[in-house]
């Protein structure tokens, strides 16, 4: 017989960015980070994991219709072997359970958005993989415990196992066992929060984030300053802003942290550029909207690519999303993309 589990995982967009590893093998971050999990209606990964004693001997992974070489992906192997070890422990404790840990796995995964477009596809991808295999294996581990496994796939993936507002605590232990994601607030705490994703360019990013952050860690003087002296205060301040549903504070911290992160990229050697002219036009537009309205109604943030994510509250949707779409749409020079609309009535 064939055992099977299907699941979806959402994209998350950090407002305090993870950038830099203190341990590249265990994938441990230099600083804590915090993200908002988006609704799965427009951006998500759908993954099915199955296993059977009748499958050909090796584990397989198919991503968006293409078979992947699983043996060359250390990260995928690390996730699968952790999950299998947890299953094996269950089977060792209860001999009536089928020996799924001995069966080859077949994992099929599909995104409903362009891969590697700077849209955090690795986050949703590894979160869905871990959740699907954990469901298949009927593991008792909580999302927080599973985040330890997803982190080994991709750091940002550990934050996609939970909805709402999620912190990834850097942790202190050398073995990384306390480097976990946890929910700061559920989506229902601040359901007015919305996000508009401007896909400026759906092309693959210039410098993959894993490589980019290593260059920054090794060469930027500003990087250490951000990790040690800037992020800890910002983490505390944004958690307070979320608790109080204080959008102006949430927005200012979000925008400043995106800018500081991109400043450390520019301070790397050789410098790394993720934002382009359209990205900078989006930054100016958000500041213009906030100035003209006379209060902070919108916040931008950029990951390792040119695409902008704009956070705003539902009541300001016409003002923010309407204006951004009218001004930075397909007629903008350099524009090559699409909008994903109102995707976070956070999941
Ligand atoms: C800029 O999670 O993709 O999006 O752990 O090497 O897979 P790896 O990196 P990844 O980095 C994400 C970087 C970021 C910021 C963030 O999501 O916090």
315 C-alpha to center of ligand 1: Å? 31
Of ligand 1's listed atoms, the one at least distance from the Cα of 12 is 17
ipTM more than 0.85?
yes
Task: Verify cis geometry, omega within 30 degrees of 0, for the bond prior to 270.
Answer: yes
Of ligand 1's listed atoms, the one at least distance from the Cα of 154 is 7
The model's pTM: 0.94
Which residue, judged by its Cα, is nearest atom 14 of ligand 1? Answer: 303
Task: Provide the pLDDT confidence category of residue 347 given band limits of 50, 70 and 90.
Answer: very low
* pLDDT at site 333: 73
pLDDT digits (tens, 9 = 90+) for 113-142: 765 455 667 899 999 999 999 999 999 999
208 C-alpha to center of ligand 1: Å? 9
Half-sphere exposure of 214 (CA within 13 A, CB side): 8
Tokens of 269: 């050697």
Ligand 1 mutation pick, 147, 156, 160, max ligand atoms within 8 A of CB? 156
Stretch 87-98: mean pLDDT:
98
Of ligand 1's listed atoms, the one at least distance from the Cα of 75 is 7
* pLDDT at site 200: 82
Pocket of ligand 1 (CB under 6 A): 14, 17-19, 27, 33, 120, 122, 154-156, 209-210, 303-304
pLDDT digits (tens, 9 = 90+) for 298-327: 999 999 999 999 999 999 999 999 999 888
Task: Provide the pLDDT confidence category of residue 170 given band limits of 50, 70 and 90.
Answer: very high
Q: Is the dihedral of CA 69, 155, 217, 300 positive or negative?
A: positive
Of ligand 1's listed atoms, the one at least distance from the Cα of 151 is 5
Instruction: Specify the range with the lowest mean pLDDT, choosing from 3-12, 103-112, 117-126.
Output: 117-126
Stretch 140-167: mean pLDDT:
96
Ligand 1 mutation pick, 23, 120, 300, max ligand atoms within 8 A of CB? 120
User: Do strands 33-37 and 12-16 pair parallel, antiparallel, or not at all (unpaired)?
Assistant: antiparallel
Rounded to whole angstroms, how far apart are CA atoms 141 and 343? 29
321 C-alpha to center of ligand 1: Å? 26
* pLDDT at site 205: 64
Do residues 170 and 121 touch, judged by C-beta distance below 8 A? no
Of ligand 1's listed atoms, the one at least distance from the Cα of 122 is 3
* pLDDT at site 116: 46
């Amino acid at each position: 017989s064939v055992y099977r589990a299907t699941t979806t995982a959402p994209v998350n967009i950090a407002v305090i960015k993870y950038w830099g590893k203190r341990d590249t093998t265990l994938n441990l971050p230099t600083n804590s980070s915090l993200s908002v999990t988006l609704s799965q209606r427009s951006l998500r990964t759908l993954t099915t994991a199955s296993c059977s004693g009748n499958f050909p001997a090796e584990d397989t992974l198919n991503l968006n219709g293409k078979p992947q070489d699983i043996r060359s992906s250390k990260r995928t192997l690390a996730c699968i072997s952790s999950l299998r070890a947890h299953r094996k422990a269950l089977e060792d404790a209860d001999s009536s359970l089928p020996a799924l840990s001995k069966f080859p796995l077949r994992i099929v995964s599909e995104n409903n958005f362009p891969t590697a477009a700077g849209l955090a596809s690795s986050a949703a991808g590894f979160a869905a993989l871990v959740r699907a295999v954990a469901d298949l294996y009927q593991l008792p581990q909580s999302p927080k415990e599973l985040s330890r496994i997803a982190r080994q796939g991709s750091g940002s993936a550990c934050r996609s196992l939970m909805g709402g507002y999620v912190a990834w605590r850097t942790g202190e232990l050398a073995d990384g066992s306390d480097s976990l994601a946890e929910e700061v607030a559920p989506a229902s705490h601040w359901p007015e929060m919305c996000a508009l994703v401007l896909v400026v360019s759906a092309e693959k990013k210039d410098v993959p984030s894993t490589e980019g952050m290593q260059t920054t860690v090794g060469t930027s003087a500003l990087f250490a300053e951000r990790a040690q002296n800037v992020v800890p205060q910002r983490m505390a301040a944004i958690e307070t802003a979320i608790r109080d549903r204080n959008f102006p504070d949430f927005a200012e911290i979000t925008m400043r942290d995106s800018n500081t992160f991109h400043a450390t990229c520019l301070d790397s050697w050789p410098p790394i550029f993720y934002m382009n002219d359209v990205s900078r036009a989006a930054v100016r537009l958000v500041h213009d909207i906030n100035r003209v309205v006379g209060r902070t109604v919108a916040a931008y943030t950029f990951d390792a690519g040119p695409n902008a994510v704009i956070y705003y509250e539902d009541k300001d949707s016409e003002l923010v999303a309407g204006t951004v779409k009218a001004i930075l749409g397909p007629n903008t020079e350099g524009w090559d993309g699409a909008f994903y609309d109102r995707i976070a009535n956070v999941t």
